[in-house]
Structure 1
Amino acid sequence: MSEALLTVDRLTAGYGDAPVLHGVSLSLAPGTVTAVLGANGAGKTTLLRTVSGLVRAESGRIMLGGEDITRMPVERLVRHGLVHVPEGRGLIAELTVDENLRLGGLWRRGHAEARRSLEEVYNLFPALPARRRQPSQQLSGGEQQMLALGRALMARPRLLLLDEPSLGLAPRVTADFMGLLRHLVDSAGLTVLVVEQNVKSALSVADRGVVISLGRVVVAAAADRLRGDNELRHHFLGF
């Protein structure tokens, strides 16, 4: 088995004097999708925000590619290959599609490389080139989610954190998005940690699932096991 790309070791974090995560541990192998599942308020979003540096860890350790990134500033994390697409997509509504995409590659020093990345993203998302001069707020929900993913890919991440990517999307659009995500993992070696309320959709493309309850990992198993274990699904995932 490949050495873990991301290792979270006994992570405790929260807001002010109210811890949300209590000793969370997990690891992600390179080129895999791991789905973080659980009820609202379980700590899923806090986990992503702590890994990406938006919430300060109180204790524990976060390792990316063997390097300790627990206290690393957000801008340095991007340079190390970690990109976070938050819930709500984080697009700048007034900026055009093209401008939003270019923001994703701002830190890259080579203009030629940035142009290549932009061309690759437009090829990957055929609906976006015709919209490139339109403000992102004029796009449909599905197009906005594709734009958010495209902006993240502009940074050429090793590790992509996605928070509720299917929120507000129609089932068919969600299925297309998840299929594209799986394609990126299989073809480009991307590693994904995704928080998702649509459990069936997430497990359909995930290699592993991690179930969090009240800030603690209660189950970590292969996605096939989570899909096939009726008792476990009913108890922790409600279906």
Structure 2
Amino acid sequence: MTEILQVRGLVAGYGAAPVLRDIDLTVPTGSIVTVLGANGAGKTTLLRTLSGLLRPTAGQILLDGKDLRRVKVERLVRLGMAHVPEGRGVVAELTVDENLRLGGLWRNDVNAAVAEVYELFEPLAQRKRNAGHLLSGGERQMLAIGRALVARPRLLLLDEPSLGLAPKITAQIMALLQKLRTQTGLTVLLVEQNARSALSVADSGVVMSLGRIATATTAQELRNAYLGS
């Protein structure tokens, strides 16, 4: 299996203090890889560094073999990487439809891409003219993911999608990730504190501790180790 993402010796942080230390990570094309760990382990910093929001001080980030360290954030989207940060960030004053179109302003086929998102998320289709601030927490998470999907990425970085959501909504989002992987070949790097939910859909995973990767193995082995199943 080919690897869409390769990370080698990655070091990054804020100011003089490193948060990530010598991170080595590979993400096979068409897989779901989850990143687990306690608060402060460096999970969000990892995604921020991969997506260009935080510049590394050492190491390599390769997307399909292309070094991303000097690539501008907006260019990363065109190269096939999309990042949904923690917090379900949407533009509250804009409608659902306007939010979605922000994800594909540069695409000639934005109308078709938005229509595909409405097929995936029926609640969004029903509320396309509603402002973002009128949506429920689950709907805002759907909108944040949908906006990223409008760019038709090959690699989706997803940070804590279950945060603050009811178990039923979390299960729906995890099922959607599996569906996208199966139907479109989407690759997902999933940061999640809900280990049970993440490992229910992941192929493999890593456990971070104090800015390093402590464990990297299959999802089944992580389920056995952490969930006893």
Instruction: Measure, in 2, the Cα distance between the counterparts of 1:139 and 1:80.
Output: 31
Moved runs in structure 1, 4+ residues, more than 6 A? none
Aligned counterpart, 1:142: 138
Aligned equivalents of 2:131, 2:118: Cα separation in 1? 16
The corresponding residue for 1:180 is: 176
Residue number among 197, 209, 226 corresponding to 1:201 in the alignment: 197
1:1-239 equivalences under 5 Å are 2-108=1-107, 110=108, 113-229=109-225, 233=226
Partners of 1:15 and 1:71 lie apart in 2 by 18
Instruction: Give 3-state SS (helix, strand or coil) of 1:34's partner.
Output: strand
Q: CA shift at 1:137, angstroms? A: 1.1
Q: Provide Cα deviations, 1:113-148, integer angstroms capped at 9, x if missing partner.
A: 111111111111111112111111111111111111
Could you state the TM-score of these two structures normalised by the residue count of structure 1?
Answer: 0.94
Q: Distance in 2 between matches of 1:80 and 1:17?
A: 30
Paired residue secondary structure (1:5): strand
State the SS of the aligned residue for 1:107. coil
Following the alignment from structure 2 to structure 1, what is the Cα–Cα distance between the partners of residues 172 and 110? 26
Alpha-carbon shift at residue 67 of structure 1 (Å): 0.8
**SS of aligned partner of 1:99:** helix
Distance 1:81 1:103 in 2: 16
Structure 2 counterpart of 1:220, one-letter code: A
Pairwise CA distance, 1:186:
1.2
Gaps of 5+ in 2: none
1-side partners of 2:118 and 2:175: how far apart?
17
Q: What is the alpha-carbon distance in structure 1 between the residues aligned to residue 196 and residue 176 of structure 2? A: 16
The normalised TM-score by structure 2 is: 0.98
Q: Deviations over 1:69-119 (max 9, x none)?
A: 1221101101101000000122111111000000000121x1xx1111111
Q: 1:152 and 1:38 mapped to 2: Cα distance?
A: 24
Mapped partners of 2:159, 2:119: distance in 1: 24
Task: Say which SS state the counterpart of residue 128 (structure 1) adopts.
Answer: helix
CA RMSD of superposed structures (Å): 1.3
Q: CA deviation at 1:187?
A: 1.0
Partner Cα distance (2:61, 2:76) in 1? 12
Secondary structure, counterpart of 2:123 in structure 1: coil
